[in-house]
Structure 1
Amino acid sequence: MTLTAIRFVVPGQPVAKGRARARLSRTREGRDFIQQYTPADTRAYERSVAFEAKIAMERRTPITGALVLIVHAYFGIPASWPQWKQREARSGLVVPTGRPDWDNIGKICSDAMNKVVYRDDSAIVDACVRKRFSRDPRIEIEVRTLNPLRREEPELLDENMVSET
C-alpha cells in the first residue's frame, strides 16, 4: 500500500525560517573567505519538525509524486493583551498579522521534511499556510499526494473570497 497522506503536530511556538547568514572567516593559512551558515534557532526548529515527521512516518518510505502541503500555525496569545482581545483571539476574530511571515513558516516546515516525508520539497505543487492564535501554540502539518481528479481549492481557499470572472 502506498502512503498518500501524513499528519503530525510540532508542539511549541511556531518558528519561521531565518535568513542565511554570512561571516568573514580565515583559514589556517591566513586566507580570508566568506562562510555562510543557517541561524541556530532555525536549525533547532528544523530538527524538531524532522523528529516529529520521523515519528509520524513510522519507518515508511518517503511519499512520491506531486504533493500538497498544508500548515496550520497556532501562536500563543499574549498574556499582556486585555481579556476581551484574548477572547477574540481564541474565537478567531483576531488573527496574527505580524511576523513571522507565512511563507517563512511554510519554508522551514518543507525544508525540514526533505528526505523524511518526501525526497525533495520540489515535489510540493500546492501549499497553504494559515496563522491563528491558540492557548496551545503548535504547528499542524499535513502532506498528501495530489489527486488530479479531486478539486483541492475548497479546502485551501474560502469559497466566498474567490471571485468569478
Structure 2
Amino acid sequence: MIFKVPGKPQGKARARTGYNPKVGKVTSYTPGKTVLYENYIKACYMQTTDVMFDHEEPLSVCINACFEPTKSTSKKQRKRMLNGEVLPTKKPDVDNIVKAVLDALNGLAYKDDTQVINVTANKIYGERAFTEVTIVSIEK
C-alpha cells in the first residue's frame, strides 16, 4: 500500500499544556497545526484506499519526506540539492515526521501503531514537496 501526501512534510509538534477555564484545571492538548496535518494525512490515505491491516499483523513502514529547495536558492545549489549532493539537514526532524504519519494512521490503516515493527524514513530534496508512505505486511 503506497500513498502520497502532497505539500511540505511536517513533524508532530509537542503537546502543549495550559489552563482550561471550561474545566477549571490544567490540561494538555495537541497544537492545531498538528491536528490539521494529521487529518490531511488521513484524507490522503482514504482517497487512495480503505484497506485496514489486520489488528495482529506486523507491519513495515517506509516514509520518504521530499522538500523543495527555497526560491532564494541559487541555480547551482538547487541542482546540487536535486542531484542528492546536498541533503536536507533542517527541521522538521525525521522522527517527528514519522510520529505525525504513524499517529495519523492509527485506527485507519491499522488498529494501533504498535503493529509497526520496522520503520525507514528519509528526507530528500525534489522538484515538488510531498510525503510518500509505503505500508507492507511482514510475513510471520
TM-score, reference length from structure 2: 0.93
State the match for 2:87 in structure 1: 95
User: Structure 1 stretches of 5 or more lacking a match?
Assistant: 1-5, 149-165
State the match for 1:13 in structure 2: 8
How many residue pairs get aligned? The number is 138
Residues 33-77 of structure 1: CA deviation (Å, up to 9, x unaligned): 1121111110011001001111222x33x1120000100000111
Question: Is residue 2:21 matched to residue 1:26?
Answer: yes
Identify the structure with bigger relative contact order (alpha carbons < 8 Å, sequence gap 6+). 2
Question: Is residue 2:82 matched to residue 1:76?
Answer: no
User: Structure 2 stretches of 5 or more lacking a match?
Assistant: none
CA-atom RMSD in angstroms: 1.3
Once residues 27 and 123 of structure 1 are traced to their aligned partners in structure 2, the CA distance between those partners, rounded to angstroms, is 36
Question: Is residue 2:110 matched to residue 1:115?
Answer: no
SS in 2 for 1:140: strand
Residues 104-138 of structure 1: CA deviation (Å, up to 9, x unaligned): 00010000011111111000000011000111100
**Stretches of 4+ moved more than 4 A in 1?**
none
- Matched to 1:36, the amino acid is S
Identity of aligned residues (%): 27
TM-score, reference length from structure 1: 0.80
Give the Å deviation of 1:25: 2.2
- Matched to 1:136, the amino acid is R
Give the Å deviation of 1:10: 0.3
State the match for 1:144 in structure 2: 136
